[in-house]
Structure 1
Amino acid sequence: MRTQVAIIGGGPSGLLLSQLLYTKGIDSVVLERRSRDYVLSRIRAGVLETGFVDLMKQAGVADRMEREGFVHDGTQIAFDGEMFRIDFKKLIGKTVMVYGQTEVTRDLYDARDAAGGTVLHECSAVNPRDLDTDAPYVTFLKDGQVHRLDCDFVAGCDGFHGPSRQAIPTDIRREYERTYPFGWLGILSETPPVDDELIYANSERGFALCSMRNDNLSRYYIQCDLSDTPDDWTDDAFWDELKRRIPDEAADKLVTGPSIEKSIAPLRSFVCEPMRWGRLFLAGDAAHIVPPTGAKGLNTAASDIHYLFEGFDRHYNDGDSDALDRYSEKALARIWKTQRFSWWMTTQLHRFPDQTEFDLKVQQAELAFLRDNEAAQKALAESYTGMPY
């Protein structure tokens, strides 16, 4: 087999890159370790920045998102038992789109199917080779046979545990990491959202987030101990704790019901530098992870795809490789800004085990400053809706 761009990873990043390349006449093959049903069963984030929405339009896959997604003009911040609103549209004229990652992935699968794109599932032992030469290739095992995919370039969109990042020699690769001393317990329930917009809550009992997928599908989170398991929390215990962490005006409106999915996610910050080695380019979780506070994970992956697509387009269609050569530099400049924002949101909204009384007073003062200062609100709105690419 031969293609121009071999894409390792069939999640939204890899599929979006493949679809965008198709619009410019550039051939790609996507290799995914899991089955299609498994990929579509994963429950992930659902807040899309303005730039991500624009990429979906550019890829020709935005119709259902624009029909079924929810445009949010702002978000709610709660602390000390009260809420205040950050009005994105009023402050900076931008919005976000609430549309689940599963739906994004489904739309991209449909588009790749319609275009006759090659997406191979259940590919194991994927191994990118000869990346520092002009003739890279990828070997993989499928249906009991070893296959070889020759290519011009390899795009590693295969997540934190995939083989792509590990293919960069350790004496070249540098990794930065911070782990947080808590996790998020999240549930999905077939209940109406408690509010029209997301609520980020700081409380003395810990962080809480009220989110949604649609008019009758809600996603809620609470900060929990890393030693907890989902089985430690009954639905009733979760709802009771959530009500204690959000303001009374929200708790009184909360509609509860059985959870249809329950999980705990640890929080971490991670960045790998560089994001290019030879003919290999890393994108998304293969290169960086943010805590979910601030909804930057999928959106930062999308910015990587923008820069990478731009580079491939100019290389193949204009004969100009400058954008590819500068990919790692440009992507990392934006990534570190989103890391800063995610770290800031996390530190302001959570309770840390080693926080002193002084730390808590400063945290409260920071949130009060955000509530009362339009310039601070504008800065948050710019980061939340997405910095320009």
Structure 2
Amino acid sequence: MTPTYDVAIVGGGIIGLAHAWTAVKAGLKVALFERHARATGASIRNFGFITVTGQQRGDFHALAMRTRNIWLEAAEQAGIAIEQRGLYISARYAESEDVLRAFLDTEMGAGCRLLTSAETPFLAKGQRAVLHSPHDIRVESRTAIPKLTAWLSERADLFYGVTVTGVDSGRLATSMGEMRAERIIVCPGDDLTGLFTDRIKARNVSRSQLQMMRLVSPGFRLPGAVMSDLSLIRYLGYADLPEAVALKARLEAEHAAQLANGVHLIVVQSADGSLVVGDSHHYHDAPEPFTSEAVDQLILDEYRAVLGSPPPVIERWSGTYATSTDQLFLIDQPLPDVRLVVATCGAGASTAFGIAERTFQSF
């Protein structure tokens, strides 16, 4: 007899796992299908940084805050350590400080404050001001995703190494045979040529490729994640402010190479003291399999300006995620009982649980 589930989820990245979590918490009978034997994509190659501060003003910022709160609940229940709390954004330029002060004047700045360089001795000299936000948290992606998966495996049926080749109303064709579900949620990540390819293309979804590194411990603990001026023209919560226009002009003149390679700085710290540092952004439907040492050096140059001489690199990797200039995420309806869900801005970990709640509300 063909098994029947309340909800079937296709995709075992953080978006799929967040939907499984939401369904399990609602008491539903859940099946999740993942074609790989374990998560290997963007969900474990990222910073594990649940970024609230700087997300686009309004609904998306609220979505990130909601996701942060659910992450705290999920982390406690699944035994996931919160490695860091809070964010420090360094401003080296007068134009950057103007953006930070403007941000503080919005509702997004609630709970945040501007610090002097004397209050942030872990940063290199030359910082004009530093924004501190208490809202952001960081988990270790490589362990958090497996722990969340393990928690779900005790409460749902997880089918790893199983490919879903087709979806129709109430039915899934899989490499292990036909399965049935009252509702089906397809979370393909950056797989743009699998299920519902035509609908993905219609939403102008492409791929972003990034480069990241792990550095040995600097010998001290960072009090939180660190970003810099370059982030202020990438994250829409800052970049959409009028004050960001002057900053963008200055950075285009003085940091053209970084901007051409989509470089901005995020530094987070793991339990063993090592630092995860990145990243860059290059946009292709078929990203190159090779990374560039020149791009890594652009990232490390920004590290040097904000945190001083970087420790040795012990690991390098690249990742890809779905991206679009049309929307930050999509919840599409191919059929009345089927949803196609994709985070299209690189903020999957920061918005996954909030997006999952929206998906179930859409049925």
* Fold shared per TM-score above 0.5: yes
Cα contact 1:189–1:261 (8 A) shared by 2: no
- Answer yes or no: is 1:302 the counterpart of 2:343: no
- Answer yes or no: is 1:137 the counterpart of 2:163: no
The alignment covers a number of residue pairs equal to: 283
Secondary structure of the corresponding residue to residue 95 of structure 1? strand
Distance change >3 Å, CA 208–CA 81, structure 1 → 2: farther
Show structure 2 runs of 5+ residues with no match: 53-64, 114-131, 231-253
- Answer yes or no: is 1:324 the counterpart of 2:337: no
Q: Which has the higher helix share?
A: 1
Letter in 2 for 1:276: Q
Shift of 1:47: 1.5
Question: How high is the TM-score relative to the length of structure 1?
Answer: 0.60
Distance change >3 Å, CA 112–CA 244, structure 1 → 2: closer
Percent identity of equivalent pairs: 10
With CA pairs under 8 Å and 6+ residues apart, which has the higher RCO, 1 or 2? 2
Shift of 1:113: 2.8
1:40-55 aligned within 5 A:
42-48=44-50, 49=52, 50-55=65-70
Distance change >3 Å, CA 177–CA 11, structure 1 → 2: closer
Shift of 1:18: 1.8
Q: Equivalents in 1 of 2:303, 2:91: separation in Å?
A: 7
Q: 2:112 aligns with which of 61, 79, 90?
A: 90
Once the two structures are overlaid, the 10-residue window that deviates more, 183-192 or 17-26, is: 183-192
Q: Equivalents in 2 of 1:124, 1:112: separation in Å?
A: 19
1:82-123 alpha-carbon deviations (Å, 9 max, x no partner): 9867776335985111113333312211212333x2100111
2:182 aligns to what? 152
1:193-244 alpha-carbon deviations (Å, 9 max, x no partner): 895431224352413313124152212225477798755418xx845x4453
Q: 2:315 aligns with which of 224, 240, 260?
A: 260
Shift of 1:139: 0.8
- Answer yes or no: is 1:175 the counterpart of 2:189: no
Shift of 1:260: 1.6
Show structure 1 runs of 5+ residues with no match: 312-322, 326-389
Q: Equivalents in 2 of 1:190, 1:101: separation in Å?
A: 18
- Answer yes or no: is 1:233 the counterpart of 2:283: no
Shift of 1:2: 1.2
Question: How high is the TM-score relative to the length of structure 2?
Answer: 0.64
1:113-168 alpha-carbon deviations (Å, 9 max, x no partner): 333x2100111252112x3xxxx2001114xxxx1111111011222316443375
Letter in 1 for 2:33: L
Letter in 2 for 1:139: A
Q: 2:276 aligns with which of 191, 198, 219?
A: 219
Letter in 1 for 2:188: D
Letter in 1 for 2:182: D
- Answer yes or no: is 1:118 the counterpart of 2:157: yes
Q: Equivalents in 1 of 2:159, 2:145: separation in Å?
A: 15
Q: Equivalents in 2 of 1:31, 1:230: separation in Å?
A: 29
Over the residues paired in the alignment, what is the CA RMSD in angstroms?
A: 3.8
- Answer yes or no: is 1:165 the counterpart of 2:196: yes
Q: Equivalents in 2 of 1:28, 1:102: separation in Å?
A: 24
- Answer yes or no: is 1:199 the counterpart of 2:227: yes
